[in-house]
Structure 1
Amino acid sequence: MIDLNNIRRGPIMLALIIGMFVAALNETLMGNALPALMQSFDASAATVQWLSTAYLLVVGVLVPITAILQQWFTTRQLFLSAMGLFFIGTVISAVSPVFSVLLIGRIIQALGTGMLLPLVMNVIMTIYPPEKRGGAMGMLGLVVMFAPAIGPTISGLIVDGLSWRWLFYLVIPFALISIFVGAAVLKNVSEVTKPRIDFLSIVLSTIGFGEIVYGFSSAGEHGWAVPGVIWTIAVGGVALLLFVWRQLKLEQPIMDLRAFRYPTFALVAVLLFVLMMTFFSSAIMLPMFMQGVLLITAFKSGLILLPGGIVNGVMAPISGKLFDKFGPRILIIPGLTIAVISLWQFTRFNEATSTSFIVSVHIALMIGIALVMMPAQTTGLNQLPRNLHPHGTAILNTLQQVAGAIGTALYISIMSGGQKQYLSGVSDPSASSEITKGLAAGINNAFWFGVIVALIALGIGLFLRKGKSPEHEQLAE
Structure 2
Amino acid sequence: MPSQQLDSPAKSATAIAGRTPPVIRLLVLATFIVILNETIMINAIPALMVAMHITEQTAQWLSTAFMLTMAAVIPITGWFLQRVSTRSAYATAMGLFLVGTALAAVAPTFGVLLGARIIQACGTAVMMPLLMTTLMQVVPERDRGRVMGNVTLAISVAPAMGPAVSGVILNFGSWRLLFAVVLPIAALITWGGMKQLKNVGEPEISTIDWFSVILAALGFGGLVYGLSKFQGDNLGLATGIVVAGLAAIGVFVFRQLSLQKSGTPLMDLRTLKFRTYTIALILMSVAFMAMLGSMILLPLYLQNVRGLSALQTGLLVMPGGLAMGLLGPTVGRLFDKFGGRVLVIPGAIAITLALAGFTQVSLTMPYWQLLALHALLMIGLAATFTPVFTLGLGAVPPHLYSYGSSILGTLQQVAAAFGTALVITVMGARADSLKAQGVSDTLALVGGMRLAFIIGAVLSIAVIVTALLLPARADSNAENVGHGH
TM class by shorter-chain length? over 0.9
CA distance in 1, matches of 2:470, 2:25: 31
Aligned to 2:449: 443
8 Å contact from structure 1 (residues 18, 174) kept in 2: no
- Counterpart of 2:379 (choices 350, 367, 380) is 367
Which residue of the other structure, out of 222, 229, 238, is the alignment partner of 1:211? Answer: 222
Q: Aligned partner of 1:108: which letter?
A: I
2:290 aligned residue: 278
SS of 2:167 mapped into structure 1: helix
> In structure 1, what is the equivalent of residue 466 of structure 2?
460
CA shift at 1:173, angstroms? 1.3
Rounded to whole Å, the distance in 1 between the matches of 2:95 and 2:466 is 39
User: In structure 2, what residue type is equivalent to 1:49?
Assistant: Q
- Residue matched to 1:229: 238
Structure 2 runs not aligned, ≥5 long: 1-7, 15-19
Shift, 1:184, TM fit: 1.2
1:47 corresponds to 2:58 = yes
Question: 1:449: how far off?
Answer: 0.5
Distance in 1 separating the partners of 2:209 and 2:307: 52
| Distance in 2 (alpha carbons) for counterparts of 1:3 and 1:142 | 25
| CA-CA distance at 1:65 after TM superposition | 0.4
1:164 Cα deviation after fit: 1.2
CA distance in 2, matches of 1:264, 1:151: 32
Q: Which amino acid is 2:217 matched to? A: T
Determine if contact 1:384/1:469 at 8 Å carries over to the other structure.
Answer: no
Once superposed, what is the RMSD of the aligned Cα atoms?
1.6
Residue number in structure 1 paired with 2:160:
149
Q: Deviations over 1:113-168 (max 9, x none)?
A: 01111111111111011221111111011111222222212211222321211100
1:78 aligns with 2:89: yes
Q: Report if aligned partners of 1:224, 1:230 keep a CA contact under 8 Å in 2.
A: no
Q: Does 1:173 align with 2:180?
A: no
CA deviation vs aligned residue, 1:78-107 (integer Å, no higher than 9, x gap)? 011100110011000001111111111111
Partner of 1:408: 420
- What pairs with 1:281-360 in structure 2 (closer than 5 Å)? 281-360=293-372
Are 2:145 and 1:138 equivalent residues in the alignment?
no
CA distance in 1, matches of 2:95, 2:470: 39
CA contact (8 A) 2:21 2:139 kept: no
SS in 1 for 2:248: helix
TM-score by length of 1: 0.95
CA distance in 2, matches of 1:412, 1:191: 45
Deviation at 1:223, TM superposition (A): 3.5
Other-structure match for 2:17: none
AA aligned opposite 2:436: S
Q: How many residues align?
A: 465
Gaps in structure 1 of 5+ consecutive residues: none
Structure 2 partner of 1:109: 120
Once the two structures are TM-superposed, the CA of residue 7 in structure 1 deviates from its matched residue by 3.0
Q: For residue 321 of structure 1, report the CA deviation from its aligned partner.
A: 1.0
Report the equivalent of 1:193.
204
- Matching residue within 401, 406, 409 for 1:389: 401
The partner residue of 1:269 within 281, 301, 313 is: 281
- Alpha carbons 2:24, 2:134 under 8 Å: kept: no
Q: TM-score w.r.t. structure 2 length? A: 0.93
Looking at structure 2, the residues matched to 197 and 208 of structure 1 have their Cα atoms a distance apart, in angstroms, of 18
- The residue type paired with residue 287 of structure 1 is P
For 1:97 and 1:471, locate their aligned partners in 2 and report how far apart those are by CA, in whole Å.
Answer: 56
